[in-house]
């Protein structure tokens, strides 16, 4: 059986060059050191030292073994320290965000939070909201920040916290849409509607609302928010976009928000997480996310 004592002895023999010096360092007899090395070779089936040499010279197998031995002992020491330094326990949280979050407040949040809480490792996934929600349901993500998903609120064992309401608006390039303001939604039905695809929960909510107002579905789709903004700026159609964020993305009033009757509703972004043994950690993290959320300011502008 392989033991930590054998690995420690192996490393000392390599570092000090002889079994005799290793025995002195370990406060053991030379025969004890030799026995541990023999047991290690028997347990692994490897010949670690070239016995034809006077000094302890590693074989190729021994060279490969040395790196793994160092890593194994290092991890073993960390395990033994957990009881003495419980505050150093590393918590891994798998968390998913949409593109809008990544384009606005997420970079600053990660910088600040990881500095303040180095014991928490955030594994980040950026994707469309429906994909993130499916990964959350499948247990691949611990927490997601996505637009409201109605079925999530009826699912037992799922906690939710409102992060922020995002003001939405129908937007077009300057001068594309004429007429007095506000315009009835029905007056915009002749324009090409540009939207995100089916993997976007945000797009599904918008499309349902527009459909209730008698407006047709999007005929031009792009899953990338910046691509949507580019298409609208180029005059290819109108789109429902996060108003203040997009206005700061464009220059010289290239886009205008079209006031409508009825006005577009805001979209609520929620932190969703499971009621589990780590509920306190997730509660605290969701609260911090809510404090940091600002969907109005593009990070790179």
Q: Exposed/middle/buried for 290, CB within 10 Å: 0-12, 13-18, 19+?
A: middle
- Domain identity same for 226 and 238: yes
pLDDT for 162 equals: 93
Mean pLDDT computed over every residue of the chain: 86
Range of the domain at 49: 4-81
> Among 155-164, 202-211, 259-268, whose mean pLDDT is lowest?
202-211
Q: How many domains does the chain have?
A: 3
Mark whether 282 and 236 lie in a shared domain.
no
Q: Are residues 159 and 177 in the same domain?
A: no
Would you say residue 300 lies in a domain? no
Both 156 and 180 in one domain: the answer is no
Q: Answer for the pair 216, 205: CB distance below 8 angstroms, yes or no.
A: no
Tokens of 27: 């406060």
241 and 287 fall within a common domain: no
Pairing of strands 49-50, 57-58: antiparallel
Q: What is the mean pLDDT of residues 243-248?
A: 86
Q: What is the CATH number of the domain that holds 109?
A: 3.40.190.10
Question: What sign has the CA pseudo-torsion 216, 196, 200, 113?
Answer: negative
Assessment of whether the complete model's pTM goes beyond 0.75? no
Evaluate if residue 88 carries a pLDDT over 80. no
pLDDT > 80? residue 85: no
């Amino acid at each position: 059986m392989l033991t930590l004592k054998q690995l420690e002895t192996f490393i000392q023999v390599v570092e000090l060059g002889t079994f005799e010096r290793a025995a002195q360092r370990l406060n053991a007899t030379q025969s004890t050191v030799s026995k541990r090395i023999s047991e290690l070779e028997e347990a692994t089936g490897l010949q670690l030292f070239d016995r034809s040499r006077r000094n302890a010279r590693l074989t190729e197998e021994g060279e490969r073994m040395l790196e793994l031995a160092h890593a194994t002992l290092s991890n073993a020491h960390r395990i033994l320290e957990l009881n003495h330094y419980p505050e150093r326990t590393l918590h891994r949280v798998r968390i998913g965000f949409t593109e809008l979050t990544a384009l606005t407040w997420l970079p600053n949040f990660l910088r600040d939070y990881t500095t303040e809480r180095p014991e928490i490792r955030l594994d980040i996934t950026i994707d469309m909201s429906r994909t993130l929600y499916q990964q959350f349901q499948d247990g691949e993500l611990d927490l997601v920040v996505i637009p409201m998903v109605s079925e999530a609120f009826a699912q037992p064992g799922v906690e939710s916290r409102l992060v922020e309401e995002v003001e939405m608006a129908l937007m077009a390039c300057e001068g594309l849409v004429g007429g007095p303001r506000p315009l009835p939604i029905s007056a915009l039905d002749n324009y090409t509607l540009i939207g995100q695809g089916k993997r976007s929960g945000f797009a599904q909510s918008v499309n349902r609302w527009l459909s209730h107002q008698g407006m047709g579905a999007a005929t031009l789709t792009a899953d990338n928010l910046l691509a949507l903004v580019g298409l609208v700026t180029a005059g290819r159609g109108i789109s429902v976009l996060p108003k203040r964020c997009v206005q700061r993305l464009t220059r010289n009033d290239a886009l205008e928000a079209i006031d409508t009757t009825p006005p577009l509703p805001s979209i609520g972004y929620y932190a969703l997480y499971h009621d589990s043994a780590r509920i306190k950690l997730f509660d605290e993290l969701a609260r911090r996310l809510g404090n940091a959320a600002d969907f109005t300011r593009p990070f790179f502008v």
